[in-house]
Structure 1
Amino acid sequence: MEHGSRRQRNRDRGQHELFGESEALQADGTATRLPDVPSWTEGEQLAFEKEALGLYLSGHPIDRFRRELDRAGVRAIETLDQPAASATVAGIVSQRRDLKTKKGDPMAVVTVEDRGGRLEAVVFPEAFRKYGRLLDVDALVTVNGKLEIDEDAARLIVSEVRPVDALLSAAGRPLAIRLAAPPADRATLEALRSVFGRHPGNGRVALEIELRGQSPPLRVRARLNRVRVQPSDRLAEDVEKVCGKGALSWG
């Protein structure tokens, strides 16, 4: 009765309960249960945070590749404290300004951002001709060049740009997917097979399934020898749509 009275008081004041029952009140006061919807993938949640808040709150798009980036010697931006003839960073292109030299040659200045910081990268005409197409806003890239640091700021004079996906392909490590059954079932595996079919390539895939119906739970590991995929951020997104956030890693 108290719950009903409280809900009536809230309705009289034009308020909505932000937390609690998954119901929406219609104009006539009747309650309609809200439909169940799939959870956001990590990428979808981060994109929403960036759009709504102007920053990433729960993580960063580059985080899922951190292990491979560390293995490849890619620096976190916040660790860049000394000038260097060659330095490599990885992140998302958050800003881009297209410019022209006095001779009219196209160039650009982009901002590359990872979880801990951001770095201005100057792309002069020669590098721009080779890599300008890779530097769209929201692209995940690794960037190599000469690191300059003065009293005001640090900047990278770009000599090479690669998609992060290329780093994963070169590393040759398998896509590792972790599942728990239940809730995973045959339909989950069928959905994964469909995902793999949309991303053909040369990358290996490994599954780890925790069988919760056993006592104690049993872990089964298997390499899918007949499955090959193209490692990419889009593949990771599609796997997370089926298996949930945090279900995959590279190697």
Structure 2
Amino acid sequence: KEKEVLGYYLSSHPLAEYESTLKSCCTSYSIGAKSLAHRTEVWMGGVVSSIKIAHTRNPKPDSPTKYANFDLEDLEGITRSIAWPNTYERYAPWIVADAIVLVRGRIDKRGEEEINFIVDEVIPIAEVETRFTSGLTILFDESKHSQDTVNRLAEVLRGYPGDRELQFEVKMASGSLVHMTSTKHKVNITPELRGRLDDLLGESSHRLRMNKPSVNNDNGNGNGGYPKRRQG
């Protein structure tokens, strides 16, 4: 709403908080996407805005007709995006104004610089970390954290058993860094766990290890995942 009224963000950009997460997951950004080949599949993240809902002409019986045109804005610029009816029907709850999302889709070239982004999948930012996180690295400073803190940390971690790899990066009193991977324990990385780690060890006491999502750019069917006839 702030940008809608003023034309720009008076406070910090809404993506600033998620910049690290999106950087780990995006395979392209708004500026770079313009130079990609037609039908290249990419993951892009951003804020949804300027949504326009329309209906396809001459739809098939019992098929959805409503589709959405919208802007996907990242920290570099804006990409005009289209979610055709089947996609929009599935992901409509997240194609709303000011939603921060990660989107999989394909580049639709409309000239040297002009592109559309044909949407295939939309993931709300709240689910991105859960889906693509492979592990957790806890940052520990020997000069700041006591043995009692180590014991309390172990107690906290025992409360969140899971399947994500657990690593430690320990800054020794000498200044050297030691990296260790737990062979006995894996964790369930939740917002609650992350909050407790910050409370115990201080802010920025840990970082997530993210797997960049895969893309499929095998266009062997000749249409790169597009419908044979463009809807609309």
**TM-score, with normalisation over the residues of structure 1?**
0.57
Residues 201, 120 of structure 1: alpha-carbon distance in 2 compared, 3 angstrom cutoff: farther
Alignment of 1:61-210 (within 5 A): 61-69=18-26, 74-80=27-33, 81-95=35-49, 97=51, 99-101=53-55, 105-136=65-96, 137-150=98-111, 153-163=114-124, 173-185=134-146, 186-187=148-149, 190=152, 194=156, 197=159, 201-210=162-171
Residues 183, 65 of structure 1: alpha-carbon distance in 2 compared, 3 angstrom cutoff: farther
Structure 1 residue 156, shift from structure 2 partner: 0.6
Contact 1:111–1:119 (8 Å) recurs in 2: yes
Instruction: Describe the SS at the equivalent of 2:90.
Output: helix
Distance 1:94 1:204 in 2: 33
Contact 2:138–2:205 (8 Å) recurs in 1: no
Instruction: Describe the SS at the equivalent of 2:184.
Output: coil
Instruction: Describe the SS at the equivalent of 2:141.
Output: strand
> What is the identity, as a one-letter code, of the residue corresponding to 1:53?
S
The corresponding residue for 1:228 is 187
Unaligned stretches of 5+ residues in structure 1: 1-49
Residues 133, 204 of structure 1: alpha-carbon distance in 2 compared, 3 angstrom cutoff: farther
Query: What RMSD over aligned residues (CA atoms) do the two structures have, in Å?
Result: 4.0
Residues 54, 122 of structure 1: alpha-carbon distance in 2 compared, 3 angstrom cutoff: farther
The corresponding residue for 2:218 is none
Residues 154, 188 of structure 1: alpha-carbon distance in 2 compared, 3 angstrom cutoff: farther
Structure 1 residue 127, shift from structure 2 partner: 0.6
Distance 1:220 1:245 in 2: 17
> What is the identity, as a one-letter code, of the residue corresponding to 2:209?
W
Contact 2:66–2:85 (8 Å) recurs in 1: yes
Q: Which structure is higher in helix share?
A: 1
> What is the identity, as a one-letter code, of the residue corresponding to 2:66?
P
Contact 1:146–1:158 (8 Å) recurs in 2: no
Residues 192, 160 of structure 1: alpha-carbon distance in 2 compared, 3 angstrom cutoff: farther
Aligned residue pairs total 192
Instruction: Describe the SS at the equivalent of 1:144.
Output: strand
Residues 217, 172 of structure 1: alpha-carbon distance in 2 compared, 3 angstrom cutoff: closer
Distance 1:181 1:206 in 2: 16
> What is the identity, as a one-letter code, of the residue corresponding to 1:63?
S
> What is the identity, as a one-letter code, of the residue corresponding to 2:142?
A
Structure 1 residue 173, shift from structure 2 partner: 2.9
Unaligned stretches of 5+ residues in structure 2: 1-7, 58-63, 211-232
Larger Rg over CA atoms: 1
Structure 1 residue 100, shift from structure 2 partner: 3.4
Distance 1:197 1:96 in 2: 43
Residues 160, 210 of structure 1: alpha-carbon distance in 2 compared, 3 angstrom cutoff: same
Q: Percent identity?
A: 12
Contact 1:93–1:135 (8 Å) recurs in 2: no
**CA displacement, residues 42-94 of structure 1 (integer Å, 9 cap, x when unaligned):** xxxxxxxx97426369x56233353454xxxx223221224521321321224
**TM-score, with normalisation over the residues of structure 2?**
0.61
Residues 220, 201 of structure 1: alpha-carbon distance in 2 compared, 3 angstrom cutoff: closer
Distance 1:154 1:246 in 2: 41
> What is the identity, as a one-letter code, of the residue corresponding to 2:85?
P
> What is the identity, as a one-letter code, of the residue corresponding to 1:64?
T
